[in-house]
Chain A
């Protein structure tokens, strides 16, 4: 089915079109949710809630921009809302706690793959992780992040700086990323 046909079918609430759309985008969207969630079960809950909103608000898609981007935006906001509702996000903005986190060697694979980097991102405290996801991966501005997370813009910037630093340290420690002096050669090699 073409994307247009899927869209029209979903607008008519056809189950087949909805299933097709779900099959096309759910793997990538679950990965998005997994980066925000505490565990896989929470990620699947976010995914389910997000797709329900996608299908419910299908009529608001204006055909301006990519369909995937529109779905992704809904999924991300669903994840953020879920974190705020469950108060998981508020618990994580504790910088002292974040500094005390010990990285367990066995939880981070040594092979440089997408999964390893995602897992490393999930090691971060949820506040750092969320800001990092929104800014570095999803492309939101710090102003937008501050509005979504109910924090100051300066807080968003500082959180991101610390998150990036911490992630770099984890990836280097686990040999997923090379040390800075070796970085340029490594970056060329892995692409």
Chain B
């Protein structure tokens, strides 16, 4: 065009042209910096930023999955609930068997069924047996018929729970002797005592009523009640006593009151009423002796404290989880618009042989892309989980076009076509043809997107291990970069015009997947997904609208965050 001579012989025009050609201006350095950064630095920052993001996700996820934090069970301080040992009979504070074992490294008795957390099933008190720290766990077993719930073979007693019983025992009739250093017994006894002082009915449902009971054959032992505890006044076992040695030991602070409850024997030991922790009260029917109490008491204490100190509490199920996922996708697009309803554009080269929408004149095929991301999950209910995260999408599809030797003008009409005229247009030059050319050329339209998916997952079927789930997210999306061609208004050529692409968009995704829970709290999932772009890839100025679609197979791994 520059070579064609459209100038008249007018000297004025010639002068103007000559003078303006002589004129030069030197741009500021920022112009070149802008050009250079657009061509080079953007790519570096983009690649660097994405590498950093992906590396950070992998590191964080790997640390959570491969090196989970361990929270060892905390052992309570041994002296927490135990008051200072007092040598006087009136201040009866004792070290229970378990504590002394920890302290002195004493042996522990084995017990049938000892390794369990069901502390309520095997604790027995043996009347008359007092704890002797210096003694081993071997000791005389209480008399009484054998019972499966009673490893020591002492005749069990039944707890009165509201039902009346004619069997009762009194404190005075069946006291037990305890060592002054055994607050466990003291505390239990205290609770039994608190159930009712002499002559006072026990109305505290948290306090045990101790009654002797028939043995396993039904024969009743000597009835015993707490002092003043009328028979038939049922109450439930103090759960604190029944289940927690530490809790019971904490009540050792009341040991001082033992002085009013216990009687001192000739050997200096005090005798009080035994407490009942599991409904099985073992009484010897006599005042008992210290050695018997020691043996069984030690066994009881060992069982209780072993369960408390050694067995790791079942881990609390957290609500939060981290999910990583990856999905190869097949990307495509739906084209619409471009039809000229009123009149063919007059100010844009237009061929009357091209009526209809743009999609009728475009030959495009799906191509592979990928999706990767990470999400934080929050389990609201058993079946419903909310999630939010960060996601990267690489979207690609191909266009079958043609290349030509000559450069042609590619004009893109902007705005609405009113009576055949576009209010504005953009003109570029290109050698890429849509409708025919010298040779075929395949164009790759690529998009790099960063999204913030927010949505939910819902369990539809299955159990804790194997589940069928559905999920949906809404994804505000930012277009990081693109390498895409636009169709000219006359459908004849392809050209690039970055200013016509929308930076912000909105996508939606839906998926259905199977998930399988493995050990260590890790859950794998796999399933198909569909993603759709709600807004056109182009600005509203461009008459053609493009909505990207993606079908993928998502593979994910979820790990609970404790």
Contact = CB atoms under 8 A, between A and B. Distances in A.
A72 B2 contact: yes
Nearest to A26: B27
A27 B25 contact: yes
A121 B409 CA distance: 28
Interface string B221-241: 000000000000000000000
Task: Tell me what chain A mostly uses at the interface: helix, strand, loop, or mixed.
Answer: helix
A117 B1 CA distance: 24
A34 B422 CA distance: 27
A179 interface: no
A101 interface: no
Interface stretch (A92-100, A102-110, A146-154): A146-154
A118 B2 CA distance: 20
Interface in B7-42: 7, 11-13, 15-17, 19-28, 30-32, 34-36, 38-40
Q: How many A residues touch the partner, as a band?
A: 35 or more
A42 B347 CA distance: 27
Contact of B17 (A84, A113, A136): A136
Contacts of A35: 20
Given A44-B27, A150-B423, A137 B34 contact: no
B512 to A, nearest CB: 42
Contacts of B423: 150
Contact of B7 (A57, A114, A118, A136): A136
A55 B35 contact: yes
A29 to B, nearest CB: 9
B427 A136 contact: no
Contacts of B27: 26-27, 30, 44, 47
A164 B424 contact: no
Contacts of B7: 136, 139
Contacts of A151: 347
Interface stretch (B189-197, B368-376, B428-436): B428-436
Interface string B395-415: 000000000011101010010
B425 interface: yes
A136 B16 contact: yes
Given A22-B32, A84-B424, A114-B19, A13 B12 contact: no
A164 B12 contact: yes
A66 interface: yes
Nearest to B499: A85
A44 B31 contact: yes
Given A137-B16, A164-B13, A34 B425 contact: no
Given A22-B32, A136-B7, A55 B39 contact: yes
Interface string A73-97: 1100100110011000000000000
Interface string A1-29: 00000000000010100110010001110
Contact of A27 (B26, B28, B39, B424): B26
Contacts of B430: 57, 60
A77 B17 CA distance: 19
A14 to B, nearest CB: 10
A51 B36 CA distance: 10
Contacts of B426: 81, 84-85
B2 A65 contact: yes
Contacts of B31: 26, 44, 47-48, 51
21 contacts: A13-B39, A27-B24, A44-B31, A47-B31, A48-B34, A48-B38, A51-B31, A60-B407, A77-B427, A84-B425, A117-B19, A118-B19, A136-B17, A137-B17, A137-B21, A139-B5, A144-B1, A147-B348, A150-B425, A151-B347, A183-B11
Interface of B: 1-7, 11-13, 15-17, 19-28, 30-32, 34-36, 38-40, 347-349, 405-407, 409, 411, 414, 421-431, 496, 499
Given A136-B13, A183-B11, 10 more contacts: A22-B32, A35-B20, A48-B31, A65-B2, A81-B427, A118-B23, A136-B17, A137-B20, A150-B424, A167-B16
Question: Which 8 A-B pairs rank lowest in CB-CB distance, beginning with the nearest?
Answer: A114-B23, A27-B24, A69-B2, A30-B25, A114-B19, A114-B22, A48-B34, A84-B424
